[in-house]
Structure 1
Amino acid sequence: MINQFQAGLLNVEVYSSREEMGQEAAKAAAEKIRELLDKKEQINIIFAAAPSQNEFLQALRTDTSISWEKINAFHMDEYLGLDADAPQGFGNFLKEHIFGGLPFRNVYYLNGNADKPGDECSHYTELLLQNPPDIVFMGIGENGHLAFNDPPVADFNDPHKVKVVELDPVCRQQQVNDGCFESLDLVPLSALTLTLPALMEAGTIFCMVPGIKKAQAVQDTVMQDMAEAYPSTILRGHARATLFLDRDSSSMLSEQIPVQ
């Protein structure tokens, strides 16, 4: 670790590389999982699907100390209308990177091809009510989104747990920048997403954000006023959230004390 500080309630840790960041975040996550499973028979974890999570997921899935059979897994968003086997689908991404190779107690997938997306929102909401999240593993988008809560649709007091959203053009372009889609016209226009309150309900949040493309979003997260125009600023109000950065993603942070 090369730096550590608080931004409001949010703990921020900076590492020298994205590999180190992923490894250290996974160590901290595994420790929290073990701690919770010492007290509970099963726990519920929400996962993010994005290339920014690769190093973290790689380290986490190889940790032999974790009792995966006691974990119920969720994911936080899904495109609407992609082919069921499309590799860009977030459920498929997570199945490849962690869900498919480990003996989870349950894996609950968001169905982006449901005949009635509103009914799928209700179904997933019921699952979350039955299995309140203990931990969220997340990232931050280039536009500051958490899950698919882009600035135009982010609501710090959203009454829903899961909703249908139209995707912000900046968010859609990021999917091209990340190499997930060849061109913007191939990126879906809408998606299912867990809302900000649904994510913030978790007892502990681990937020992994590497890379130079995220430097502006990281600066906004730490320095901007807490507002829905900068959705990730909501993390500064969570008492058990940690933001894991690498040297690149932290490169725009001021030397001054962050806004509290």
Structure 2
Amino acid sequence: MTEPIVRVFPDRASLGHAAASDIAAEIRERLGLQDAVRMIFAAAPSQQETLDALTAEAGIDWERVTAFQMDDYLGLPDEAPQRFGQWLRAAIFDRLPFKDVHLMRTDGDAELRPAEYATLLDEAPIDICCLGIGVNGHIAFNDPPVADFADPLAVKVVELDSTCRQQQVDDGCFPTFDDVPTRALTLTVPRLLDVGRMFCMVPGPAKAPAVRDALQGPIAESCPASALRTHHGCTVYLDQDSAHDLD
């Protein structure tokens, strides 16, 4: 097992610029060795600084990059601004000339959507995953009650726990707790870990306990992000606030 590289920065802005520089270097290197790059992106305010900086990076042939999203809510209209697909379109997908962008469908029969998205993911290896950590330690929408480190599925429908739903309110994404959907579509923990490189950006004081548990607690489904410590190539980017509780 290779422990993640952990980098700590003074603030969110410097974290975002450093992470974007590293991600861009990884994309350029892979494009120099292979025809295309496939990437998974998380949608959250914690990712904004990194994605802003990434869109400004030069020397990347984005027309050879295919993008996927990590998770999304069920039960919201396609045009709802809270949809993660919509957030990612505004943050990066519509700002760069990607080869393809595969947004999650959540309309119709939700039970059919996981297999459809898993098929798209499985067409070729995923090279890079850009993600964060939730206040309850989740990665994607794998909250502690539903996280499964041996999950046989690549994508599944999950019930969101109350801590996760409250985070969406605290992040300013929804006006009230009752407005937050109760179900979502998510990549599973094993599917997230089955990528070449992982870049995990986690700023802010609210994330400090989850960061401590993920990096220094047991590797357990009670803190899904602790699974990042089993990945062969993960870098975690923190600011002073999120690193506060580390030994």
Same fold (TM over 0.5): yes
Query: Runs of 4+ in structure 1 displaced over 6 angstroms?
Result: none
Aligned counterpart in structure 1 of residue 229 of structure 2, from 227, 233, 236: 236
Kindly report the root-mean-square deviation, in angstroms, between the aligned alpha carbons of the 2 structures.
Answer: 0.9
Question: Which residue in 2 is equivalent to 1:150?
Answer: 143
Query: Take 2:122 and 2:77, find their aligned partners in 1: how far apart are those partners?
Result: 28
Question: Which residue in 2 is equivalent to 1:258?
Answer: none
Matches within 5 A, 1:1-150: 9-113=3-107, 115-150=108-143
What amino acid sits opposite 1:240 in the alignment? G
What amino acid sits opposite 1:106 in the alignment? D
What amino acid sits opposite 1:108 in the alignment? H
Tell me if 1:252 matches 2:224.
no
Query: Take 1:8 and 1:121, find their aligned partners in 2: how far apart are those partners?
Result: 30
Q: Residues 111 and 157 of structure 2 are in contact (CA less than 8 Å); yes or no, is this contact kept in structure 1?
A: yes
Q: Secondary structure at the match of 1:98?
A: helix
Greater mean deviation of Cα atoms: 218-227 or 7-16: 7-16
Aligned counterpart in structure 1 of residue 189 of structure 2, from 196, 213, 217: 196
Question: Which residue in 2 is equivalent to 1:183?
Answer: 176
Query: Take 2:8 and 2:99, find their aligned partners in 1: how far apart are those partners?
Result: 33
Q: Secondary structure at the match of 1:203?
A: strand
1:64-96 alpha-carbon deviations (Å, 9 max, x no partner): 221110000000000001111111100000000
Task: Give the deviation of 1:118 after TM superposition.
Answer: 1.9
Task: Give the deviation of 1:8 after TM superposition.
Answer: 5.1
- 1:131 to 1:142, Cα distance in 2 relative to 1, 3 A: same
Task: Give the deviation of 1:235 after TM superposition.
Answer: 0.5
User: In percent, how many aligned pairs have the same letter?
Assistant: 49
* Count of residues paired in the alignment: 247
| Structure 1 unmatched ranges of 5 or more | 1-6, 255-260
Task: Give the deviation of 1:112 after TM superposition.
Answer: 1.9
Query: Take 2:170 and 2:228, find their aligned partners in 1: how far apart are those partners?
Result: 25
What amino acid sits opposite 2:204 in the alignment? G
Query: Take 1:116 and 1:125, find their aligned partners in 2: how far apart are those partners?
Result: 16
